[in-house]
Each structure stands twice: as C-alpha cells, then as structure tokens.
Structure 1
Amino acid sequence: MRLSVKTLLLLILILSKIYCLAAPVKRVKHPKELHFGIFFHYLNGLQNTKAPWNQGKVTSWNDCVNDLNVNKIADQLAAIHADYVVITSEQIDKYFCFPNTTYEQLTGYKRGEATSQRDLVSDLYAALNKKGIKLFLYVTGDGPRADGKASLALNNPSSRPEYKGIFKVDELWVKSWSRIIRSVSLQYGKKITGWWFDGSYNFIGYNDALLKNYMKAAQAGNQKALVAFNFLGPKDVVGINTIGNFIGGESDKFESLPSPEFKTSKIKWHILSYLGNGWAQPGLRYTDDYMSTYIKKIRSFNGMITVDVCLLRDGTIDATQYDFLKRLKN
C-alpha cells in the first residue's frame, strides 16, 4: 500500500504530538513556589583546611574547587526534594568559587589565586537545572575584609587606619562592592534565582538607602531574582524585614512561624538556621517528626525554610544529615 505525501506528513504530525504528550516534562518552579532549600557553607577555611570538611586534603583553593562533584550535589538535593540551594560565593577572605574578571582586575589577583579557574557556578547550575532545582548565591556586606590586598583595592573600610581593622560601612565601600555584585549578576543572569546577603547589619551602618545599591546590582542580570538582606543578625522570632523581596530570616533555631498575612504578602517569609551543632557543622538537633511538621507549616503559609548542613569537599552531604533529610515528609 502506497501512502500519499500528505498522508505521510499527517501521520508524522500525529505521532509527534503523541510522543510529546507521552514524554515526561520537567516542571520548572516559579520563585513564588520555592519553599524548601539547603544551605552550603563552601569555603577555603572549611573544605580546604579543616576536618571533617576537607576529607583529609589540603591544596590550593583552585584545586579544591575542582574537586567538588556538582552531579553528586544535584543527585542528593533531588533525593531530599529540595527546591533550591544556597551556596557561599565568598566570606571574609579573598576567595571566590568562580572566575570574575572585575574582581580580578580591581584586586590584582590572577585567576586561580583568589578566584577559581573553574566556573563552579555554571557547572553547578547545569547539574541542578537538570533536576529542576534553583540556585541562590550567598554574598556578604563586608566583602574580603580579612584580606589586606583585596580590602585596600576595593576601599573596604576595615583597611583604613582610622577604623583600626573594624568594618564600618560607608558609601565609598558600597559603591565599590556594588560593582562586584553587579558584575557577578551580569555574568550569570538568570542562572541565579536568588541572593542572600549576610553582614548587611544595621549595627555596622547599613540602611535601606545603602542596601538599595546592592538590590539593584544583584538584579542587574535577572530583574526577577529574589534578594534578602540579613539586616538584624540572628533572631528567635523571624518576621522583621528591610528592603528585598524575601526575608533574611537568620535564626539559631527552627521555631519561628509566619504570621497569617504572609500567605498573600509580596514579600516571602523565610527562615535560615542550621540542622547540626552549629553553622556548617555535622550532627542533628531535631527529630524527623518535628522537622517534617515544621516544614509543612512553613509551606502552608507560602514561606521558605533553608536548612544549613555540613558539606564535604567532594560534594557529599554529611551522611547522618543526608539520611535524616531523606526521611523527612515535606
């Protein structure tokens, strides 16, 4: 039996539609649907220098970044049904876990010295995106204040003699640091779903006027990015916010709950605390039932809960914590 060209084309069209309907489609979550996330402290001072995080290895920071297995991270996060992950891009010292031309040019550090040769953010994004998991970046409001060379180059207040090594924010620093944040945002665009700014405290001089510079810089590459500022430091009761579109929410315990108005608020309620014995530490402080119930309550208010865990050098989450997270019914 011979088929006409029109008949063949019609059959191809029908079969292609059947295939599309049958093929599994990965649903991409909108930022408003993000509720449960994991936080990783990924730092030279942990994964490259201290046990148990460094797994017995001490190398250059560049080699340490090369050792991180992003596919292992993505697989673990998918297994515990995480909607997103927050990873530190820097903290206090000179090290960044990705290359950035602006930072390198301004500080004078060559690629591989303070920034890494490997583009960890892009690699991590690619692995996470396959699983439908969003990527957030952690940055600080005081930048590389412990590194003299970078601090001097970027006009960090801690480098000025009159401050005697103490960080006290001013407009000169905010302008300088905003330039770095903006360059990172433009570098990665929509790969970055959100930003969590640590060290943006009111007691070191930050206010809404200054933080608006960071907000604008962070959203330069993705206008819809979620941005939060840790304005008050750790609090038992979460709910106070400055500018931003989700609450910083740092706390030393998972107890606070959103008030009813957050169900429909434009600003997302959020809490960040640690699962173990301290930030980035192994251990467990809660029972399965408690955390499962707590996460469900946060979700019912359209809130977000971010759980800090112990991440090892190769991308393995502490085994006890990983098993615990897999047992949660969230």
Structure 2
Amino acid sequence: MQDQRYRWGVMTHYLSDWQARDHKLEMTVELWNKLVNGFDVEAMAKRLNSVGAGHYQISIGQNSGYYLSPNAAYDRVVGNNPSKCSHRDLVADLYEPLSRHDIKLMVYLPSGAPAQDKSAVTALEWANGPHVNKNFQRKWQQIIEEWSHRWGQKVTGWWFDGCYFANTMYRGADAPNFASFAAAARAGNSASCIAFNPGVLYRFLSVTPEEDFTAGEIDKPELAAIRRAEKGQVDGTQLHMLSFLGEKWGSGAPRFTAEQVVSFTGNLLNAGGSVTWDVPVELDGTIRDVFLDQLAAINKAFPREARS
C-alpha cells in the first residue's frame, strides 16, 4: 500500500444480514447464492476505475455465518449442510476485472467466529472476550489458509477485524499467535499486506510487527489525530485509515460533503498515509452515484499517478 498509485481505495460490506435488513429479505442459502451470483464484478471495476480508486476491499463475511467464497475447511469444521459459503467465489471473480484497471484486491474478515450462527460458534470453539481461544485460533487459521491458497497472488491484503484481546490471544511466544495468524493469511501470497484491528481509536498505532499497515478504524474522521508519524509510517507500519461515507458502516445517505471527504483524505495522504472509504452497495454491487461523486472529488484533488 506504500506505492503512491494505491494511496486510497474503497471498501464494501457485502453481507447477507445487512442486505436482508436493507432490502427486507428473509435470508436463506438459496437466496444468498442468488445474490452472490448477481454481483456485477465488471460494473464494480468500471466504477472504481472511473473514480481513480487504487484498491478495493470486500468483506468475505462477518457475523451471520454466510460467506461469499467457498471454503472446504470451514464446512468441515462447522458442519453446515447446506453450506453457508457461496458456490461462486466472488473474491476470485473480482480479480480479473479489477486487475485490468490496476486496482488491488483486498479482503476483510473478522478474527472471531460468526456470532449469529450459534452452531458455528460451538464447532469453532469460540469464546468471546479475553480468552486464549487456542483451539478456535488453530481452526480459524486453517480456514484462512485455505482461502489464501485459493486466491494466491490475486489478493494483496487482509484487514482483520475484532482483534480486541491481543495480549490474551496473540502476543504469546508459542503459536497460535500473531505470527501464525499472519502466516496463515500469507500462505498463498507471501507479499500480502495485513492489518489487525484493535477497535475504534482516534490515533493511529500498530499493534504488532506482524502487520504492514495500521487498521485505522475511525468512525469520526474529523477527530483523527496523526501523531508520531514519520514518512507515512507509525512505528514502522504504513499509516492507514478506514472510515465510512454513509450514515453508518455500509448504509445510509452521505454524511459528509465532498469538500469534507477531500479534506479528511488529504490529511492522511499529505502525511504519506493511505485511506479506505467504505460505501454502501445495492444487491448487485452497484455503488450509488452520490457516493461515486464524492470519490471522484478525491480523485480530482489527488489524481492517481500513471498506471503501469
């Protein structure tokens, strides 16, 4: 992410429960596969290219237990029948249209089990809170490793959510720990960049030498404080912010003016950092024009350099 051609990008949360909530749907395995099959990857790539985005980050899944890519390790451990992992590998299918526009592909995944799927929580042996969770982590790393091998060099970055109990779960000398967690994500691409999210903080910090960029989750970017950053890095890690343009993550109307979005972005870019903006999407993956206009304003203020 240090390459200046990829200074800022876009994220979308394409999650079964969020789509069901926003569109008043009753989610089923059949419907989830229909929705994932209907996600227009070509249109997404064209829209991102039109606004000069350098990277695109998509959620693999979150709390519902539905995921937008197959994973045999997950199905073997959890035992869902039918599987809640989609038949289509949406991540893999995004790669080709994005790569034609030199847009890097990144993925989002929580560091814990899907809380709404109680059978999955039990099978994965997950306990929420400051617990060691060694059995869970071993299983979760197997699942991550399979996805990493599946995608190989198509995926260039991972953003892991919910690393709230780093001292308890990840900082031990013996695996599973931060090192084994990172190794699982890099199994298919040793050059993948990784961030571990400790939660919403209004200053940027790195939580482990195993990560390459700060997770930087900030819900109020106007309060973001860039401290102790030098040449775009914080404690040896790439400075990065992830925030959202809608009223909340993945939904709502724009909460900022285009001028504000440009200003918030510029604060990071001018310090040598990078930014990812989350925007809502429709059932087919469409980003509404009102958000594209804000992204285009960023590109006008900070034009993307020539693409190789």
8 A Cα contact 2:67 2:84, kept in partner: yes
Report the CA distance between 1:262 and its aligned residue. 4.0
Q: Which residue of structure 1 lines up, in the alignment, with residue 205 of structure 2?
A: 239
Deviations 1:241-268 (A, max 9, x none): 3341111111112232544414366410
Please tell me the residue identity of whatever aligns with 2:200: P
1 or 2 for the larger relative contact order (CA 8 Å, sep ≥6)? 2
Determine if the alignment matches structure 1 residue 213 to structure 2 residue 180. Answer: yes
8 A Cα contact 1:241 1:248, kept in partner: no
Deviations 1:156-198 (A, max 9, x none): 226xxxxxxx684421111111111111111111111100000
Deviations 1:285-306 (A, max 9, x none): 3222232233234223321111
Q: Which residue of structure 1 lines up, in the alignment, with residue 46 of structure 2?
A: 75
Deviations 1:189-221 (A, max 9, x none): 111110000011127943333222211110111
Q: Percent identity?
A: 30
Q: Which residue of structure 2 lines up, in the alignment, with residue 222 of structure 1?
A: 189
- Match of 1:285, SS state, is coil
Range with greater deviation from structure 2 (236-245 or 220-229) = 236-245
1:77–1:273: structure 2 CA closer, same or farther, 3 Å change rule? Answer: same
Determine if the alignment matches structure 1 residue 261 to structure 2 residue 261. Answer: no
Determine if the alignment matches structure 1 residue 107 to structure 2 residue 81. Answer: no
- The alignment covers a number of residue pairs equal to 289
**Gaps in structure 2 of 5+ consecutive residues:** 303-308
1:218–1:100: structure 2 CA closer, same or farther, 3 Å change rule? Answer: same
**How far, CA to CA, are the matches of 1:168 and 1:204 in structure 2?**
10
**How far, CA to CA, are the matches of 1:206 and 1:42 in structure 2?**
28
**How far, CA to CA, are the matches of 1:79 and 1:273 in structure 2?**
21
Q: Which residue of structure 2 lines up, in the alignment, with residue 36 of structure 1?
A: 8
Determine if the alignment matches structure 1 residue 173 to structure 2 residue 136. Answer: yes
Q: CA RMSD for the aligned pairs? A: 2.3
Deviations 1:23-67 (A, max 9, x none): xxxxxxx753321011111100122x122xx49796621111111
- TM normalised by structure 2 equals 0.86
8 A Cα contact 1:31 1:226, kept in partner: no
1:56–1:175: structure 2 CA closer, same or farther, 3 Å change rule? Answer: closer
Please tell me the residue identity of whatever aligns with 1:271: M
- TM normalised by structure 1 equals 0.80
**How far, CA to CA, are the matches of 2:138 and 2:262 in structure 1?**
43
- Match of 1:157, SS state, is coil
Determine if the alignment matches structure 1 residue 87 to structure 2 residue 75. Answer: no
